[in-house]
Amino acid sequence: MKQLIGIWSILLWAGVVSVVNAQYLSYDCISEESDLIEGNYSTLLQSFDGSLWVGASAGCWKYDGENTLPVPLNGVFNTLDISAVYEDAEGKKWMGYSTGQVAYEDELGQFLPWEIEEGWPQARITAMQKDSLGQLWIATYGEGVYCYRKGRLYQFGKEEGLVSEDIYDLVIDQAGLVWAANDAGICLLSWQEGEKEVRSFSTTDGLPDNIVTHLFADPDSGVWLGTYDAGIAYCQVKNNQLKVSLPDIWPGGVVSSIAKVDQGQLWVGTQEQGLHVFMLKEQKVIRQETQLEHPPQRIVKLLFDQEGLLWILSHDQGLCRVQARLLNWDNLPVATQAIAIDQQNQIWVGSQKGLYYRPASGGALVPYKLAEDLNIISLHVDHHNRLWLGTFGEGLFILDAEKLDLQEIGAAHGLGNGSILSISGDANGIWLATLGGVYYSPSPSAGGLPRFSRPEATQSIGTDFLYCNHIDHAGNVWFGTDGHGVSYVQKDGTLKTFRTSKDGTSINAVYAITEDGRGRIWISTNDQQLYYLEEGSFQKPKKPMAFGRNEVIGIGSDHFGNILITHQRGLMVYDVATEETIDYHHFYQEAGFSPALNAVATDKEGKVWLGGIRQLLCYTPFYGKYRQQPRLHLEQISVYLDPLDFENKTVLKANENNLIFSYQGVWLSDPEEVRFRYQLKGFDQDWIATRDHQAVYSNLPPGRYEFVVTASQNNQFSSSEQRVSYAFRIRPPLYLQGWFIGASILLVVLLGRYFLQKREGRLQKEALLLKDKVESQYETLKSQINPHFLFNSFNTLVALIEENPKGAVTYVEKLADFYRSILQYREQDAVNLSEEIQVVKDYHFLLTQRYQDHLQLDIAALPQGKRVPPLVVQMLIENAVKHNVISRHHPLKISIYTEANYLVVENAIQPKLTKQPSTGFGLQNIRNRYALLSTLPVKLEQDEKFFRISIPLVVDKLSQ
């Protein structure tokens, strides 16, 4: 090892060397890659859903990080010249036109003309704001200010005290005051007990300029004015008095827009002279350089968004964004290897070829000329404000910059190794991590030199190759080793070593050590892992960090205690409180930042300086709370491609089961990194990770579901992200619904009961019929074997045998036929009418032998295919013969004919002198038998002359 002894004389060339590098903010203009129209821009707004709305003379465009889409305004008015866009507290947008018209957004997101009785202004709308009472204030260029209040539009104009009715801007501040800017200063507008009140302020009240072109309501309090000639001013109303404060000397330009970037900077855009940055703490204006060849000059609007990005809308460059947390320095002549910040807030940079520094007054980084270009690999500022320079192989040096004194420290001071990779120290002592082990020296007095030794305990570390060291808040001194884990020397001098992490993986080479805001030690290892120490062991962060293929190079912490991780693509910040990581690689991709190992230092303002190859990066942590994950919302749910009113409808029909969920995650910092994870609870078993903005489900069975989607900008999901969900139910089809099944069962039961009852009735009737039939048969048989009939028949037969033996034979044959018919038909319910008539004819033949031709039977032509109950007609003939006189003088004529659907049996009434007893059985029997056969009744008509009975004819089923 090369040993260097002696005191070096120093040649200080500070200030002689010209600027060798430039600091700039990385601008990123999206206009080129988007469909944003070229044109006359008027305004820029960030909606609650995170999207940006750009108003222009040819319409309004919405940018969500991915697409730039025109807002559908065609047909609302016959102009598209938007001059003001406003979003009220309900998220409803208002469009002001340069013609004075106003449109608003309805519940479905469509724009409609705002119809008011008073009519629209006839002058360009320059601003719109709603106050806490819901009153809409509309500023116009030419007609003063309008206020829509309790359903009426009122004007604040010259009569009310506005000196000029050309209003450039209008804002409502945190206190609720309404400020308007015009050519005569500013005005405070209000309603006092129903009366309009205008309070005007001009240069006589302390304003720097009467022409106030822009107003910006400070999110904390008060209002910033942008003027035509005199830059900016800050106004506050205290005790009813206007207080104006004027910062710095104005570099020039008509102020067109102001934005407050976090708490430290006020960005001011001018109409033609680009951007100025006003540092609030220092109360001075600085001019920020950009890497752009043509930075925005004609600024329209500045906007500091929900993610902590600054947006610049300009006529010349369109829409650009700036990550104001990051300030790039490039064009350094060498590779940065170490950074330290001294007590005067000067930044010292060690490189392979010497030392550089940046004076506390700012400006460029300049070389600090030493006699020899040392390869400086570590830097440290001690409590006497001396700079310790650790070199690679060239030993240790102590520089007292005030006294221009450089001391070399070597073997004479106990230091046995010339490669000092890391130096840390406090008021007690200085610790070195070298390639020859740990060296310690008590802190030397002012101007004194150290006496190094190798502490006993550190000899057992296991290796002499040490990469880094760190003194923690408790005074423990940590060392990262090459291959032997991480060790620390406790205050009592004992050594403790960690070789494995909590999950058992071994910790080998440790490249960097830092400490977070909760006092936890973090280490980065050679196998791309980050660990933190908690409860006695090193563990990985709960929420994994997405380094991808990026190699972790260094770690550090900012003054909030968040962990900064430099990797090959750039810088990542791990928020200790939320466990979210935000990767800022996008903002210096073009510059190609490649960080150096352990070149990290935090200055007095809390800015973190990170060294890279030929570059420096300055990271300013923001105080405010900014969005760390995409702003997610459900854009649309469609059923068979038809949009669903999902805000109100949660029950779908059985056939409404093809659904598409469209969602949007707005992450303007890095839109391409947005990933989604969704799950249809009740259908999907697990989360589905995707980059798509749509989830499609088809043929969902009936049931209860909940669609849940979350978004991430770092592809790491846990349960803490914002989630958007839609719970719904698909109803089962009709045939599976409870009430339908119940009703069906009831119907079946009722029908069954009905049929059972009917069957029972029929059986009863049949039983009755059977009984009737049996009775009828009995009666018929009884009548046929009526001794009287037989007696008469036999007498007739006897007479015939003697007189007309042939006729007797015929008679006996007919008698036999008659009885056979009776026997044959009695079992049947009905017989053919022709068969019945045959029986009747046989019966009549038998009777004519007795009554000669005094009994006449007149049978008309009868229809075919009709039926009657058997022996019914015969019974009627028998009845007629039984009850009427039949003689030569009183012949009886019986007519049989059909009438409609009836068979009529008719005879004249010739009552016998001795009335035959009537059982009444015959007719009743006929009626009963018919009750089962026909719905038509048996009709009986009787007058003094005729007896007429009509029996229904039954249709022969066979002939039908």
Partner 1 sequence: MRILFFLFLTIVFLIPAQSQRETWQTREGKVNFLSDAPLEMIAASSNELRGVLDVEENTFAFAVSISSFDGFNSPLQRQHFNENYLESTLFPQTSFKGRIIEQVDFSNDGEYVIRAKGILNVHGVEQERIIKSTLVVKGNSISITSNFSVRLDEHNITIPRIVNQKIAEVIQVEVAAVLIKRSNP
Binding site for partner 1 (CB under 8 A): 117-119, 122, 143, 151-155, 157, 159, 196
Give the relative orientation of helices 833-851 and 787-803 as an angle to the nearest 10 degrees. 70
> CB of residue 193 vs partner 1: minimum separation in angstroms?
14
- The answer to whether 167 and 145 have CB atoms below 8 angstroms apart is yes
Beta-strand ranges (E) seen in 560-647 are: 563-567, 570-574, 581-583, 595-602, 608-612, 615-619, 631-639, 642-643
Q: How far is the CB of 82 from partner 1 (least distance, A)?
A: 22
Instruction: CB nearer to partner 1: give 194 or 917.
Output: 194
For the bound state, the minimum distance from the C-beta of residue 172 to partner 1, rounded and expressed in Å, comes to: 22
- Least distance from C-beta 119 to partner 1, angstroms? 4
Which C-beta is closer to partner 1: that of 100 or that of 264?
100
Pick the closer one to partner 1 by CB: 160 or 405: 160
Taking the complex as a whole, the smallest distance from the CB of residue 160 to partner 1 amounts, in Å, to: 9
Query: How, if at all, do strands 563-567 and 7-8 pair?
Result: unpaired
Closest CB 130 distance from partner 1, rounded Å: 19
Q: Whole-angstrom Cα distance, residue 697 to residue 683? A: 10
**Which is closer to partner 1, CB of 155 or CB of 784?**
155
Tokens 């059977």 belong to residue: 770
The CB-based long-range contact list for 153-162 (8 Å cut-off, 24+ gap) reads 153/116, 153/117, 153/118, 154/196, 156/180, 156/187, 156/189, 156/196, 156/198, 160/196, 160/198, 161/187, 161/198, 161/200, 162/187, 162/198, 162/200
Minimum CB distance to partner 1 smaller for 197 or for 205:
197
| 117 vs 803 by CB, closer to partner 1 | 117
DSSP state of 671: G
Contact between residue 406 and residue 370 where contact means Cβ atoms under 8 Å apart = yes
Q: Strand 855-859 to strand 892-899: parallel, antiparallel, or no bridges (unpaired)?
A: parallel
- Written as one string, the DSSP assignment of 841-883 is HHHHHHHHHHHGGGEEEEE----SSEEE-TTHHHHHHHHHHHH
Structure tokens at 644: 């669903």
Question: Min. distance of Cβ 158 from partner 1 in angstroms?
Answer: 9
CB nearer to partner 1: give 87 or 143: 143
Beta carbon of residue 122, minimum distance to partner 1 (angstroms, whole number): 6
Q: Residue 198 or 599: which CB sits closer to partner 1?
A: 198
Q: How far is the CB of 163 from partner 1 (least distance, A)?
A: 17
* Beta carbon nearer to partner 1, 74 or 122: 122
Return the CA Rg of the chain: 56
> Least distance in Å: CB of 177 to partner 1?
22
Q: List the Cα angle 719/721/726 in 5-degree steps.
A: 90
* Minimum gap (Å) between residue 573 Cβ and partner 1: 54
149 vs 540, beta carbon nearer partner 1: 149
Q: Closest Cα partner for 895 from 919, 873, 871, 921?
A: 873
Q: Which C-beta is closer to partner 1: that of 122 or that of 959?
A: 122
The nearest distance, CB 187 to partner 1, in angstroms, is 18
Least distance from C-beta 143 to partner 1, angstroms?
Answer: 6
- 776 half-sphere exposure, CB direction, 13 A CA radius: 28
* Min separation Cβ 171 and partner 1, Å: 24
User: Measured from the CB atom, is 137 or 465 closer to partner 1?
Assistant: 137
d(CA 45, CA 52): 6
User: What DSSP string describes 300-314?
Assistant: EEEEE-TTS-EEEEE
The tokens describing 110, both together, are 């469509």
In the complex with partner 1, which residue's Cβ is closer, 146 or 439? 146
Give the list of residues 6+ apart from residue 569 with CB closer than 8 angstroms, or none: 550, 583, 585, 589
Contact 550, 568 (CB under 8 A): yes
Structure letter (DSSP) for residue 587: G
CB neighbours of residue 769 within 10 Å: 18
Nearer Cβ to partner 1, position 134 or 701? 134
Give 122 or 690: the residue with its C-beta nearer to partner 1: 122
Buried b (16+ CB within 10 A) or exposed e, 886-900: beeeebbebbbebee
Tokens (6 digits) for 85:
């866009």
- Residue 540, Cβ neighbours under 10 Å: how many? 15
Minimum Å gap between C-beta 121 and partner 1 is 8
Query: 777: exposed, middle or buried (C-beta count within 10 Å: 0-12, 13-18, 19+)?
Result: middle
CB of 156 to partner 1, least distance (A): 10
* Residue 65 DSSP class: S
Nearest residue to 167 via CA among 111, 213, 210: 213
Cβ-in-10-Å burial (0-12, 13-18, 19+) of 249 comes to: exposed
Question: With respect to partner 1, which residue has the nearer C-beta, 87 or 165?
Answer: 165
